[in-house]
Amino acid sequence: MKFTNLPISAQVVTPVIILSLLYAVSGSLVDWWLRDLQRDTQLYKVGLEESLVALRSYTEQSSSDEGLLSRDLASDLIEQLEVQKTQFVEGSLGSTNQVRLLLLVSILVAALVSLATALWIARNMKAKLWGLSSLIGTMLKGFLVTEGDYEGSNEFGYVISGANKAANSVERFVMELKGRSNEISSSAVELMAVLSFHEESVQNQHRQIKALTSRSIKLATNSLQVVERGIAAEQYAEQGVGIAQQSLASSEERACLANEVSTALNQAVNMAESLKGASSQIAEFVHLIEDVSERTNLLALNAAIEASRAGERGRGFSVVAAEVRVLAQQTSSKTVSIQKLVGDLQRDSQMMLDSMKFCLGKVAENASLSQKSVNDIETLLDGISHIITQHKDMVHAVKEQSLAVSAMNESIQQVEACLGENSESVKQAMTAAEGLLTLSERHQTKLTEAN
């Protein structure tokens, strides 16, 4: 995270913390160094003093020449120790002064660093405040699309983010107002168009009401004519009912006759089928006779052959065989004639049966048509009765309609008066719509300038 993105309180407190830390560290080091130096100096001073005391006591106790010599040496040593003590004290004082100078320099450096940091922070804060001021000035001029480019998470970031959100909200509000203004303008235009159309409609209604008045008069006249014609139609319908009832009676008689004919034809068909069955039986008998004739002929032929073998003794039998053979041939020829007659009888019976079935189908179809005709005539009677009822209702309704037309003429006059008042209201509404359109255009111009 960048230092400039930290909160402003953190940016301001940081140099103070750095200065305090530098001062504390420098003071601790100097204090430790001074205490160590004082301790060493004190120990060295105590040692020197003890050495001087020992040497002085030694010189005072010595009385011989050696003692004099030692005393001289001790005196020289004491002088040297005094000199070293003086040099050590002066060196300690110089070191102390150097430490104090170092402490002063460190304090000055910390102060300069803190001052530079404060100036740098102030410059950054000034730049951010200048950007925020520019953003607010741009928004005040109406340029709501402009957004601040600061992306920090500190107070400046919150302020610029809030300003951007406020600008976006105001921009959306302005765009919504522009949209509503456009809607109001279009609605005002549509309202004027509708009112203009309504005014034309009112005028057309005036004309239509006049035409409606004349038509209502014609309608009353036509209603009377409809009543007269309805009465005449009712009379014709009653006559049609009588004719339809007669047709219904004759159709019912034809249906009964068709049913009787159908019954008779069914009996004839049954008889023809019985005749056809009898013809089939006769044909079987004829086939049997033909078979017997063929066998008799074959038997006569065999008898003739046997008679010829017998000679004179079988001549009588030969004559009988010849007669039997002739009889068999005649029987065979008659059988062929009978078969032909039976075939003709069967063919005629089949043709008669087909004709009867065809007639029966036509009779049944005629009966169905007769029944349908009866149903149609009954439907026609119901329709005519319904028409008569409707004519009566229509005549009654036309009479009521004539009364309603008179009342409608009075209502039309009242509607015409209301239309006059409506026309005045439409003119006033058009004037108000024009004022609304002008106000909407002014509002839209102001919003365009603000954006």
DSSP letters along 299-356, please?
Answer: HHHHHHHHHHHHGGGGHHHHHHHHHHHHHHHHHHHHHHHHHHHHHHHHHHHHHHHHHH
Rg (CA), the chain: 76
Q: Please state the rounded mean pLDDT for residues 219-237.
A: 69
Q: Which of 7-16, 51-60, 105-114, 387-396 has the weakest average pLDDT?
A: 7-16
- Whole-angstrom Cα distance, residue 408 to residue 416? 12
> CA dihedral in degrees (90, 94, 95, 97; nearest 10)?
140
Helices 8-61 and 65-140, interaxial angle, to 10°? 170
Amino acid identity at 208: Q
Inside any domain, residue 314? yes
Inside any domain, residue 31? yes
Inside any domain, residue 190? no
- Whole-angstrom Cα distance, residue 110 to residue 19? 5
Identify the pLDDT of residue 59: 59
- Whole-angstrom Cα distance, residue 226 to residue 58? 175
143: pLDDT strictly greater than 60: no
Q: Closest by alpha carbon to 150, among 169, 132, 133?
A: 132
Identify the pLDDT of residue 123: 73
- Whole-angstrom Cα distance, residue 388 to residue 396? 12
- Whole-angstrom Cα distance, residue 409 to residue 427? 27
pLDDT in tens, 298-352: 776 776 777 677 666 666 666 666 776 677 677 767 777 777 777 777 777 777 7
Inside any domain, residue 118? yes
- Asked if 254 and 372 touch (Cβ cutoff 8 Å), the reply is no
- HSE value, Cβ hemisphere, 13 Å, CA-based, for 35: 6
Q: Which of 129-133, 222-226, 231-235 has the weakest average pLDDT?
A: 129-133
Enclosing H/E stretch for 151: none
Q: Which residue has the tokens 């803190």?
A: 114
Q: Do 281 and 413 belong to one domain?
A: yes
Which of 118, 141, 164 marks a domain boundary? 141
Q: How many CB atoms lie within 10 A of CB 221?
A: 12
Q: Do 415 and 267 belong to one domain?
A: yes
12: pLDDT strictly greater than 60: no
**How many distinct structural domains can be found in the chain?**
2
Alpha carbon separation from 394 to 45, 348, 388, 397 (Å, rounded): 152, 66, 10, 5
Which of 99, 114, 141 marks a domain boundary? 141
Identify the pLDDT of residue 200: 75
Inside any domain, residue 217? no
Q: Please state the rounded mean pLDDT for residues 433-437.
A: 69
Inside any domain, residue 292? yes
Q: Do 137 and 248 belong to one domain?
A: no
Identify the pLDDT of residue 74: 58
- Whole-angstrom Cα distance, residue 12 to residue 16? 8
- pLDDT, the chain, mean: 67
- Whole-angstrom Cα distance, residue 405 to residue 216? 6
Categorize the per-residue pLDDT at 379 as very low, low, confident or very high, splitting at 50, 70 and 90.
confident
Q: Do 250 and 399 belong to one domain?
A: yes
Identify the pLDDT of residue 239: 72
Range of the domain at 400: 227-421
Identify the pLDDT of residue 287: 73
Which of 104, 120, 141 marks a domain boundary? 141
Measured between its terminal Cα atoms, the distance across the chain in Å is: 37
Q: Which two tokens stand for residue 393?
A: 């209702």
Label residue 144 exposed, middle or buried (CB < 10 Å: 0-12, 13-18, 19+).
buried
- Asked if 377 and 246 touch (Cβ cutoff 8 Å), the reply is no
pLDDT in tens, 53-108: 666 665 566 544 445 555 566 566 666 666 666 666 666 666 666 666 766 776 67
Q: Which of 68-72, 279-283, 426-430 has the weakest average pLDDT?
A: 68-72
Identify the pLDDT of residue 138: 65
Residue 322 CB partners (closer than 8 Å, separation 6+): 300, 304
Q: Which two tokens stand for residue 440?
A: 């909407």
Q: Do 236 and 369 belong to one domain?
A: yes
Residue 185 CB partners (closer than 8 Å, separation 6+): 437, 440, 441, 444
Inside any domain, residue 328? yes
Identify the pLDDT of residue 446: 62
Identify the pLDDT of residue 65: 47
Q: Do 414 and 283 belong to one domain?
A: yes
Q: Which of residues 358 and 240 earns the better pLDDT score? A: 358
Identify the pLDDT of residue 426: 66
217: pLDDT strictly greater than 60: yes
Q: Which of residues 149 and 429 earns the better pLDDT score? A: 429
Q: Which of 48-62, 177-191, 292-306, 350-364 has the weakest average pLDDT?
A: 48-62
CATH number at residue 381: 1.10.287.950
Q: What is the DSSP letter of 154?
A: S
Identify the pLDDT of residue 286: 67
Inside any domain, residue 198? no
Q: Do 352 and 236 belong to one domain?
A: yes
